Amino acid sequence: ALLRQCPLLLPQDRHGTAYEGFVTAQGRNFHIRILLPVDLQLKNARIECSWHLKRILHGYRHILKQRLHSCPDLVSFMMELKTVLEIALKNTQDLHIPRPPEYYSCLVRDLEILGWNRVAYVDTGLSTVKLKAEDSCGRQHLITLKLNAKYPTEPPDCLVDFPVPFAVSWMPQNSLMDIYNQFLAALESLKEFWDALDEIDGKTWVLEPENPTRSATTRRIAIGNNVSVNIEVDPRHPNMLPECYFLGAGHEVNPLRTKLNNNMHLWDPEVSLLQNLRELLGIDFPSRAVLEKSDFAKDCGICYAYRLEGSAPDHVCDDPRCGQPFHQACLYEWLQGLPTSRQSFNVIFGECPYCNK
């Protein structure tokens, strides 16, 4: 699939952790290098590119970061990257196209009809507009509109912090008010999703992401000392059972995994996501009001830091008397240096740096 979509991007090693080549947009090739961690998780990937491509994508870095977190595989991300690059190139070209007087008069009229109290930002060239809105729960949201010289014949590109794609329905006679109303409708359709995650963010200790965006669908929630659960919530069906992945020592997480499997049939869509998780797992998540994060979040036993390139320690020694956590990258590098460790495909086995088990 990657060969079909990006024939100029080639793997550089047999593990599939490094790719180098070119991404093509508007008939132009741009040099790029993608480095994946050993677990092939896109969210921890590093992207290196030519200074020219870096300059073109400068204003889209936060969007690409979101896409790295949300795309299931490298092929999907490369398709997203090509789409963003096409938009960036089009907007870069638009900056040099003189705009007709009708463009400015139409845009100013639309902004006056919309109301300047809804405008958060307008750039000096009147080509980028940010509009603000509140959903029914009082949460603040922004939509960024990138207008090209043919507006209103062609719709603006709309950038939002949503967990799902935002497609605008547009006719040449439409105005910014039509986009704004579609934006408000989309906000309400995601209300239950944000309600569920706001409750989790407010009542539990979320280890990752540290500062979640509105588009983030995952939460790693602390359960106990070096034990946590990573949940992936479906934005379209936020009250259904999310994908759950437990992190921690085997003797700690295996009973939780068994409880979840045995109690799945008890999931109640009428009850909040957090309450369902509590009842199915038979636990109380550590409260922000009672405990500090340091009470259950230990630093890595190798680098002695909690965060390493944004990630918290997620590998724990299985020995109950040890239970020391490590960053995956630190542990992998440590085990690679041990003469007694062995490797099978992309999994490495060896002794714990702390207890030698």
Region 251-280: mean pLDDT is 93
* Structure tokens belonging to residue 173: 């006679």
> Quick check: 135 and 187 in contact, CB under 8 A?
yes
132 and 182 belong to one structural domain = yes
244 and 288 belong to one structural domain = yes
Q: What value does the CA radius of gyration of the chain take, rounded to a whole number of Å? A: 24
Q: Which helix (H) or strand (E) holds 178?
A: helix 176-189
Distance CA 142, CA 119 (A): 9
Region 315-319: mean pLDDT is 80
Q: Which of 20-24, 214-218, 224-228, 241-245 has the lowest mean pLDDT?
A: 224-228
> Over 90: is that where the pLDDT of 325 sits?
no
Report the CATH number at residue 320: 3.30.40.10
Distance CA 56, CA 82 (A): 12
The b/e string for 31-70 (b: 16+ C-beta within 10 A; e otherwise) is: ebebebbbeeebebbebebeeebeebbeebeebbebbbbb
Distance CA 102, CA 91 (A): 19
Q: Final residue of a domain: which of 94, 121, 147? A: 94
Region 57-80: mean pLDDT is 87
> Quick check: 84 and 32 in contact, CB under 8 A?
no
Report the CATH number at residue 223: 3.10.110.20
2 and 86 belong to one structural domain = yes
pLDDT in tens, 94-151: 555 678 888 999 999 999 999 999 999 998 888 899 999 999 999 999 999 999 888 8
* Structure tokens belonging to residue 98: 């003189």
- What residues contact 134, with CB distance under 8 A and at least 6 apart? 140, 141
Q: Is 108 helix (H, G, I), strand (E, B) or coil?
A: helix
178 and 218 belong to one structural domain = no
Which residue's structure tokens are 């020694």?
317
- What residues contact 162, with CB distance under 8 A and at least 6 apart? 186, 190, 214, 215, 235
**195 is a domain residue:** no
Which domain covers residue 306, as residue numbers? 298-356
Region 205-221: mean pLDDT is 90
Q: What is the pLDDT of residue 209?
A: 86
Number of domains in the chain: 4
> Quick check: 311 and 295 in contact, CB under 8 A?
no
Region 265-269: mean pLDDT is 93
275 and 240 belong to one structural domain = yes
Residue 145 pairs with which residues in a beta bridge? 129, 158
For 105, phi and psi rounded to 5 degrees? -65, -40
**196 is a domain residue:** no
Region 54-64: mean pLDDT is 86
The b/e string for 266-288 (b: 16+ C-beta within 10 A; e otherwise) is: ebeeeebbbebbbebbeeebbee
134 and 180 belong to one structural domain = yes
8 and 72 belong to one structural domain = yes
Report the CATH number at residue 172: 3.10.110.10
- Give the mean pLDDT of the chain: 88
